[in-house]
């Protein structure tokens, strides 16, 4: 079976995409070819000896707008021609950003591949009107007109986002819509259960991910932690953090706050996370996408034995908390003045439940839909 995986945004920025490719490539009956772009943030390039990777140029953020647009158009056209030569049995494309290449191949090159679609994010129609979204807007149009009606699988990362996507595409058969969560690899759950014996002193907090003053509560949680230099330690780890955040941290010099501007490699996260007690999710919920988001970090923190703190705005995490007996703590990060570190006690955890949220489990329905399981059984 020949599978083409279209992911125009650099793979290294999306660990769940890399985990899926590792899972798919482990199947000896599958020939996997990936079409992506070079990352410009110094991340270690994704590599798997069983995966052929075709990397196009990524638009230079400092280039003229027309040059960035031409670079992206070139990727779509080149990828479509490459698909014509490869003649895949199945195409998996990710996000409307990658949709034009799939549309060109299937519409103009008589492509016969079965089609599977996954979205990391949920986009409202007004989101496509933002600067820099011209081609994703066209990609979304081709999805609604041509790609979705022929797709065998269209997935979102949780039930709330899926419900919104189905609302926006009422003509598409209900049987095509699926949930594909961003779970971590099962091996992450074999790490030390850091909360099994309670928290030590000081209590150790970590934030991993993107951060800005506009979209996250990074300033609020840092100021709160700084009030308790003997009781709390906070570590911030992320490569996609706005420069003014680190500039502010440099100026403040909080004694109990440390940070790693270059982030860390995804495969190193389990050993790093197990040194902490609490994992932070800090999105403010400025968009529908963030309100109905369960970031992959939630599952990664849980699988590594951490309690998770999240903002009250994040409705989907709140729903997830109500459905599962796991250490999730909802906080009003905009008003932490009455939240005292001396009152903190671990919520406890149910280790067996956290181990239910693994990538291998999440990917199995998609692999079954693609027929990979049938080929595995014959081999």
Q: Name, in order, each residue with C-beta under 8 angstroms of 16's C-beta and a sequence gap of 6 or more.
A: 120, 182, 183, 296, 359
Tell me which residue has tokens 């990936």. Answer: 34
The Cα–Cα gap between 42 and 108 comes to 36
Question: What pLDDT score does 379 carry?
Answer: 45
Question: What pLDDT score does 350 carry?
Answer: 47
Q: What CA–CA distances, in Å, run from 73 to 78, 163, 265, 372? A: 9, 31, 30, 32
The Cα–Cα gap between 221 and 336 comes to 8
Listed as ranges, residues in the chain with pLDDT below 50 are: 350, 377, 379
At 1, list the tokens. 């079976």
Of the candidates 278, 292, 290, the residue with the CA atom closest to the CA atom of residue 214: 290
The Cα–Cα gap between 93 and 98 comes to 6
Of the candidates 150, 155, 125, the residue with the CA atom closest to the CA atom of residue 288: 125
Question: What pLDDT score does 221 carry?
Answer: 97
Query: pLDDT tens, 307-354?
Result: 999 999 999 999 999 998 889 999 999 999 888 877 787 776 545 556
pTM of the model: 0.92
Per DSSP, 143 falls in state I
At 276, list the tokens. 């902490």
The Cα–Cα gap between 185 and 252 comes to 37
Q: Name, in order, each residue with C-beta under 8 angstroms of 30's C-beta and a sequence gap of 6 or more.
A: 1, 2, 3, 24, 372, 375
Question: What pLDDT score does 277 carry?
Answer: 92
Question: What pLDDT score does 196 carry?
Answer: 54
Per DSSP, 256 falls in state T
């Amino acid at each position: 079976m020949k599978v083409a995986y279209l992911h125009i945004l650099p793979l290294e920025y999306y660990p769940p995409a890399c985990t899926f490719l590792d899972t798919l490539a482990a199947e000896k009956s599958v020939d996997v070819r990936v079409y992506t772009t070079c990352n410009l943030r110094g991340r270690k390039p994704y590599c798997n000896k069983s995966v052929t990777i075709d990397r196009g140029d990524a638009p230079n953020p400092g280039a003229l707008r027309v040059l960035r647009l031409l670079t992206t158009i070139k990727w779509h056209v080149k990828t479509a021609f490459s698909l014509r030569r490869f003649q895949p049995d199945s195409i998996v494309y990710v996000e409307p950003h990658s949709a034009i290449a799939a549309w060109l191949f299937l519409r103009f090159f008589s492509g016969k591949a079965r089609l599977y679609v996954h979205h990391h994010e949920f986009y409202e129609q007004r989101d496509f009107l933002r600067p820099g979204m011209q081609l994703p807007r066209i990609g979304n149009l081709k999805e609604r007109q041509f790609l979705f009606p022929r797709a065998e699988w269209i997935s979102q990362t949780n039930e709330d986002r899926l419900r919104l996507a189905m609302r926006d595409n009422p003509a598409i058969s209900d049987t095509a819509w699926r949930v594909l969560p961003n779970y971590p690899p099962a091996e992450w759950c074999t790490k030390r259960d850091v909360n099994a014996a309670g928290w030590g002193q000081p209590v150790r907090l970590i934030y991993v991910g993107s951060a800005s003053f506009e979209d996250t509560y990074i300033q609020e949680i840092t100021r709160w932690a700084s009030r308790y230099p003997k009781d709390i330690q906070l570590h911030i780890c992320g490569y996609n953090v706005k420069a003014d955040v680190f500039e502010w941290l440099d100026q403040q010099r909080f004694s109990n706050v440390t940070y790693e501007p270059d982030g860390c490699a995804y495969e190193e996260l389990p050993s790093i996370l197990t040194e902490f007690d609490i994992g932070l999710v800090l999105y403010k919920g400025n968009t529908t996408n963030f309100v109905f988001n369960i970031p992959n970090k939630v599952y990664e923190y849980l699988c590594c034995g951490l309690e998770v703190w999240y903002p009250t705005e994040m409705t989907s995490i709140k729903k997830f908390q109500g459905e599962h007996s796991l250490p999730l703590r909802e906080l009003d990060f905009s008003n932490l003045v009455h939240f005292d570190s001396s009152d903190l006690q671990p919520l406890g955890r149910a280790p067996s439940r956290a181990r239910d949220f693994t990538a291998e489990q999440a990917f199995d329905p998609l692999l079954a839909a693609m027929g990979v399981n049938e080929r595995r059984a014959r081999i």
